[in-house]
Structure 1
């Protein structure tokens, strides 16, 4: 359960709005039959790309205090959650962990090199220490020369963002949990950039598939694959390498039209067992409860105030710019901010994008897995014979 006591320190209007949002989220979790935590029977595992958390490089942030409460409320429903787009400064993540409470911890990578196209982001895992044990093994996936990504004849490269994996155990269930944020590149499926995206998916699935044959751990591979839809080249790359993808009827982007995010697995001796295996609605649409379209008027004064402050900063940057590049950057910022402030219609359009930098433009995915194999083990012991016998 998140740590709510600091809400006392918020101005009463902000506190009441934040509590109302939390209450709507809690009611929504109940309404969609999101599983409750069961100490010894099941594990709630998921993945979430938390958009640009949290360095304001795109000039829509930073996140407000209430957003940290909403994100913490969602995260608290998971026993372990893979996260993507964690930025270089870890202070916002530490702030989020304070809201989550002492029983939660995280493991993240260092930042990716900007020269590889990884935007200096981190991958990682947030987990409930009361439920999940980190087994002390962690590593980033570096491809051998013969497996380098080659979307064109003269190319041979590593991942834009190096996949990250850790070994965990919950109850009887041991698993290697790996997460990715696959290179996006271009929307055109005929472009080399799209081919690079598919090749990255193939490479990580193939590599982990080979590792699975030499390991006694269950392989769970999740993250932002930038997959367009089931049956596309990227999706097929997972299944052709032995991974089973968890199906959902609708996508995981903000309007649920794209299937960017995926949860997939390779099971050891049928140990990956989904509770409610026929469910196809394991995506949580938080915009039904917080930062809703109808909430624009509530946040309009906040947006106006922030845009005014950003405009003043951009004008100051322009005044002290010493190079053509810096002047153009400041001029473009001023132009974009003034366009957003022009009318209620432009402010409302800005709100539609702004809210994704408060929450995310991706929705969290989840599965509930069985972790108690004691009955099966007892059955095994019934016919077990030791060497001494």
Structure 2
């Protein structure tokens, strides 16, 4: 339970301080009751036995939450009450994967202090360098009496052959047009229909079209290309001098490489924009590996292609790792969770998440609204890997209980229909005026533009184990 000792009203507090403490306490009570109701309502019409188990804390609540730019000084930074609200939300779960945690950890450490440093801890990556990395960290924050860190943590790095590319692969283009000479009698179009769309009287390719070039095709390299001879190449010598010319090319050409100008290349192999973070934990009988991600967003066709490629390459990498772990320990389970920037549940990005043996639990799939503040996108997800073999050879297995997405904006920093009298917007009017930002947008820099998503996992398999022993021959 969070510690809010600094909210105690003291005799020497100024009037506005007393009013702030009173209002913050009222909001925290409202938020706490709403979270209790939200989690209880998620159970639906469950059995009395299951409800009893849940009250006995035999289930682990696992959550993911992208906390927008946590924390940045943009628009004044987060208010103290915002940190209280964030701590209260986190306290209702046992382990939370956080995305968009920035270089300065002061706000995260404040949240841990409110939660209770003797009860809570966190594991964080270093910041990710590069413009697309945005100097973000990946973080797991967890309740120590419920979850145990089992000493393995690392960032996911792809092998050279698995690097992220766009859908076209590694290519180069000549701004003045490729100068190509084809063998006579060659037909370039592949057999079968070419997927096209018609737009404003024009026929356009619907997707990338890859056409194998016939043998004998000649292409004039664009200006700025270079010839690269690897170290160790034997060179021709004439009259004691190295002879590198067109006449001597047969001696060195089998080893030569051609490097087009860098700015004309596309599809260059990349690592993830923000390195996924993989950590091992145990809760009760359940051992599990969590990999939290913040997938590249991007815009336009190329940005969306890279976004989808990151998801696809990630699930392929993790499935190989999960298969290996399963072979050595069938009771160590793999989860991937975080901000995938998935457009929707019928989009190719959703399909890529479900490739390579991963799937989102049905309890989350059934929630119609999205996890962003507008509730119209499926950005955030939690998925687990299932072995291809039927059944489970061990005592433990993945048993998902309740699940939900909590919309805190109905209770704090309210707006629109959730704030009928406009009280919250008026209360923060001076802040939004100072930073020249609409209140609806400003509040996402106090809380987030994402909502926390959670599932419950069973951690007590004692009855199953004892039943199996008692039934054995």
TM-score (norm: length of structure 2): 0.68
Residue 71 of structure 2 is matched in structure 1 by: 54
Question: Are 2:238 and 1:112 equivalent residues in the alignment?
Answer: no
Out of 177, 181, 197, which is 2:307 matched to? 197
Aligned to 2:360: 245
Question: Measured at CA, do residues 38 and 87 of structure 1 come closer, stay the same or move farther in structure 2, by a change above 3 Å?
Answer: farther
Aligned counterpart, 1:262: 381
Contact preservation (8 Å) 1:61, 1:358 = no
Matches of residues 170-181 of structure 1 in structure 2 within 5 Å? 170-181=283-294
- The aligned residue for residue 109 of structure 2 is 94
What is the 5 A alignment of 1:145-224? 145-151=160-166, 152-154=168-170, 155-186=268-299, 188=300, 191-215=301-325, 216=329, 217-224=332-339
Residue in 2 aligned with 1:124?
Answer: 139
The answer to whether 1:367 aligns with 2:462 is: no
Give the Cα separation in 2 of the matches to 1:126 and 1:62: 21
Q: 2:399 aligns with which of 264, 273, 280?
A: 273
Q: Could you tell me whether the CA contact under 8 Å between 1:40 and 1:171 is conserved in 2? A: no
Q: CA deviation at 1:196?
A: 0.1
Contact in 2 for aligned 1:40/1:372 (Cα 8 Å): no
Counterpart-to-counterpart distance in 2, 1:237 and 1:3: 42
The one of 428, 439, 442 aligned to 1:351: 439
Q: How many residues align?
A: 337
Q: Which moved more, 1:266-275 or 1:169-178?
A: 266-275
- Structure 1: runs of 5 or more not aligned: 311-336, 341-349
Distance apart, 1:296 and its partner CA: 5.0
Q: 1:30 to 1:228 in 2, by over 3 A?
A: same
Shift of 1:120: 0.3
> What residue number does 1:22 align with?
28
Show the counterpart of 1:319: none
> What are the within-5 Å matches in structure 2 for residues 66-81 of structure 1?
66-81=81-96
Instruction: Supply the distance in 1 between the matched residues of 2:457 and 2:81 (Cα, whole angstroms).
Output: 31
Instruction: Provide closer, same or farther for how the CA distance between residues 27 and 64 of structure 1 changes in structure 2, counting only shifts above 3 A.
Output: same
d(CA) in 1 for partners of 2:164, 2:129: 17
C-alpha spacing 1:33/1:78, structure 2 compared with 1 (3 Å) = closer
Cα distance in 2 for partners of 1:170, 1:230 equals: 30
In structure 1, what is the Cα distance between the partners aligned to 2:93 and 2:169? 43
CA distance in 2, matches of 1:5, 1:145: 52
Unaligned runs of 5+ in 2: 43-50, 171-267
Deviation at 1:384, TM superposition (A): 5.4
- Secondary structure (helix, strand or coil) at the match of 1:149 reads coil
SS in 2 for 1:167: strand
Structure whose CA Rg is larger: 2
Report the equivalent of 1:347: none
> Over aligned residues, Cα RMSD in angstroms?
2.0
Cα distance in 2 for partners of 1:61, 1:356 equals 13
1:249, CA displacement in angstroms?
1.6
Q: SS at the partner of 2:354? A: helix
Q: CA deviation at 1:301?
A: 6.0
